[in-house]
Amino acid sequence: TGLSDSMAPADIAELSRSGALAFRASFDGEMPPRSELYWRALTLERFDGRRWSQSSFAQLPVAPAWEKRGEPLRYSIVMQPSAKPWLFGLDVAQTPLEQTQQMSDFRLQRRQPVERSLLYQVTSWPDAVREPVANQAGLRRALQLPAQGDPRSRAWAAELKRQYPQDEALVQALLSHFNREPFGYTLRPPRLGLNSIDDFLFETRNGFCAHYAGAMTFVLRAAGIPARVVAGYQGGEFNPAGNYVQVRQFDAHAWVEYWQAGRGWVSVDPTFQVAPERIELGLEEALADEQSFLEDSPFSPLR
């Protein structure tokens, strides 16, 4: 169980019905605010009109260029068996763990899948600049879209580009759109048709983090801005007695990063615009009115 290397809109919603522990993180010093705990697992660059998945290039052990800025965070993670090779860390993460390396998309990856509990140390540089100079092949991958499909979203992206020729302004306009328009956050999103991005943006307007991350990445690409989906976990439950944070499967999350010359990859979270309580307080608070939260729990009235 846990995160997969591909994602359709409803997949992370399924994970969010499980309270199983993913990992535990203990910080050497003060823990960052919950809203800053974005635990990267992997990036999803390929889109086939329905699913986002890892590109084949992501498997090449090419370390990305980045510049350290600010002060580092130091912490240790005890990870539960996942049967997957990637580890979890806050950006930009480094670990001295043997047989583990930083891959081209800034994820940490083992040579072999994690089949038993694993303890590792991490140093993260949250203010680092990630790939400030263009990797042209990487940027081409981050602009890839299917040849056809979702015509309304493509037309809207072209209109946004005319209105906001500066990339930063377009990104902010898109975030404001999610905040201002009647979008909803739910574990029970309506079914989407063949043009899934169009259906979500213009018809159903109700979804989970993967809907928002996928739709925003699609529109940015259609507007000519390199972007990709990041899958991982967000937040966690702080245990003051042990000074650690427990991250469970229901903390699974997807967000977006887009590329700008000089600034490199910049992370944004469209879900925060729709359900800020999910990022600041956690999933249970964000879905207080929905019984589908933790259906797998032995304490759930829905079991």
Number of domains in the chain: 1
Could you list the active site residues? 209, 253, 269
- Predicted local confidence at residue 290, as pLDDT: 66
Residue with tokens 């912490």: 75
- Whether the predicted pLDDT of 253 surpasses 90: yes
119 domain residue, yes or no: yes
pLDDT band at 68 (very low <50, low <70, confident <90, very high): very high
261 domain residue, yes or no: yes
Q: Which domain holds residue 186?
A: 6-286
167 domain residue, yes or no: yes
98 domain residue, yes or no: yes
297 domain residue, yes or no: no
- Predicted local confidence at residue 284, as pLDDT: 77
What is the pLDDT averaged over residues 164-183?
97
In this predicted model, which residue has the larger pLDDT, 271 or 12?
271
- Predicted local confidence at residue 283, as pLDDT: 79
219 domain residue, yes or no: yes
- Predicted local confidence at residue 1, as pLDDT: 56
121 domain residue, yes or no: yes
User: What pTM value is reported for the model?
Assistant: 0.93
What is the pLDDT averaged over residues 26-39?
94
| pLDDT tens digit sequence for 75-129 | 999 999 999 999 999 999 999 999 999 999 999 999 999 999 999 999 999 999 9
- Predicted local confidence at residue 21, as pLDDT: 96
What is the pLDDT averaged over residues 198-212?
96
Question: pLDDT above 70 covers what percent of the chain?
Answer: 94
- Whether the predicted pLDDT of 298 surpasses 60: no
131 domain residue, yes or no: yes
- Whether the predicted pLDDT of 232 surpasses 90: yes
- Predicted local confidence at residue 297, as pLDDT: 42
